[in-house]
Amino acid sequence: MIPLHQRTDANQHLVIALGDPAGIGMEVTLKALAHPRCPEGMKPLLVGCRASLKRTHQRLRNLTGVPLADPDDLDVEDLPIPGAPVNPGDAGAAGGAAGFRWLSRAVELVQAGHGRALVTAPIAKHTWHAAGHPYPGQTERLAELDRAESASMLFTAVSPSTGWRLNTLLATTHIPLQQVSQALTPALVRSKLETLTRFCQRFNPSPELLVAGLNPHAGEKGQLGSEEEQWLTPLLHQWAQANPTIRLKGPLPPDTCWLSAAQAWNRSDASGPDGILALYHDQGLIPVKLLAFDQAVNTTLGLSFLRTSPDHGTGFDIAAQGIARCESMLSAIEAAWTLSQA
């Protein structure tokens, strides 16, 4: 490990928290760092257990001929797992405690200027809970550590076929479905629209944004739900008038809201929106994962630093079998490197 005071090229570093040690986080990280698409000049600073990483590397070498980064060549902030090693697939409190500790330390390193962005491998909420950390997910822990008033989950992906970028932001995140209508407020939707606009303006100064309705058929004029008629439609009309350079459409029926995005993802002669606002977790994540499971990147906005993460889980059932695909982790690394450029 390179001592912190000797890391003079922090702008070349991405800090990578290795996630739950019982899952596929270490595997996809080692594969991604050896991939030809890994950004040239990027220096990873891994946060995790070096001994676990080396065991994973040796196990994978025995299982697969896929290129792997060698832990001996990597800069690792070594936080050993107390007691016995966590075995692959052993989804319990020990792994949850380790992943929580690694994430917390990774944030400290980014905040202290030892990397220009943070990439996080997957964790499992239930193992965090078993370890006594009852957070809904990493996003909420990140917001707490950064003292951010709110953090937003945006999923971004670039089509390998057309080069078009899909951007979907969630208005609400890890809450039960029955709580969504109570959590949605005019102030929240307005704030998320502004966050989505700022992100999309990185690529287009006058973006087109779509907003999905909450109810089937966007309420069908109040026949299938009242939220659209009572406040969402008037709010979007008011926001559009106040932001005339933004092309805003909605609320749209959720079952057709992503159709133009799907066409732009698959066809070079089609155009899609610059961003879509989904009102709850699965409303946005189902179309994103159907279109871009290996390319989608979970991007946390609203923090003092950029954070990305692959758009998949811990894969406890396939851990250490050598079959986990690294494309989403690689996309997370590429996005963190590209989007954090000054």
CATH number at residue 261: 3.40.718.10
Please give the order of strands across the beta sheet that includes 306-310. 75-78, 43-48, 13-17, 117-120, 306-310, 297-301, 152-158, 165-170, 275-278, 208-212, 247-252
| 141 and 44, same domain (yes or no) | yes
pLDDT confidence of residue 10:
77
| 246 and 327, same domain (yes or no) | no
Instruction: Name residue, tokens 């899909």.
Output: 166
Per-position pLDDT tens, the chain of length 342: 455 545 557 789 999 999 999 999 999 999 999 999 999 999 999 999 999 999 999 999 999 899 999 999 999 999 999 999 999 999 999 999 999 999 999 999 999 999 999 999 999 999 999 999 999 989 999 999 999 988 999 999 999 999 999 999 999 998 999 999 999 999 999 999 999 999 999 999 999 999 999 999 988 888 988 999 999 999 999 999 999 999 999 999 999 999 999 999 999 999 999 999 999 999 999 999 999 998 999 999 999 999 999 989 999 999 989 999 999 999 999 999 999 985
Nearest to 335 by CA among 192, 203, 172: 203
| 280 and 195, same domain (yes or no) | yes
Domain encompassing residue 26: 1-151+302-342
The total number of structural domains in the chain stands at 2
Nearest to 93 by CA among 50, 132, 52, 56: 132
| 142 and 172, same domain (yes or no) | no
pLDDT confidence of residue 129:
97
pLDDT confidence of residue 4:
52
| 26 and 97, same domain (yes or no) | yes
pLDDT confidence of residue 149:
85
Which residues make beta-bridge pairs with 45?
15, 75
pTM of the model: 0.90
Q: How far apart are CA 151 and CA 144, in angstroms?
A: 9
Q: What is the DSSP letter of 79?
A: -
Task: Tell me whether strands 208-212 and 117-120 are parallel, antiparallel or unpaired.
Answer: unpaired
Sign, CA dihedral 167-169-174-179, equals: negative
| 122 and 51, same domain (yes or no) | yes
| 57 and 189, same domain (yes or no) | no
Six-digit token pair at 154? Answer: 């945006």
| 260 and 174, same domain (yes or no) | yes
| 175 and 207, same domain (yes or no) | yes
| 1 and 147, same domain (yes or no) | yes
| 11 and 146, same domain (yes or no) | yes
| 57 and 117, same domain (yes or no) | yes
How large is the C-alpha radius of gyration of the chain?
Answer: 21
Quick: pLDDT tens for 231-248.
999 999 999 999 999 999
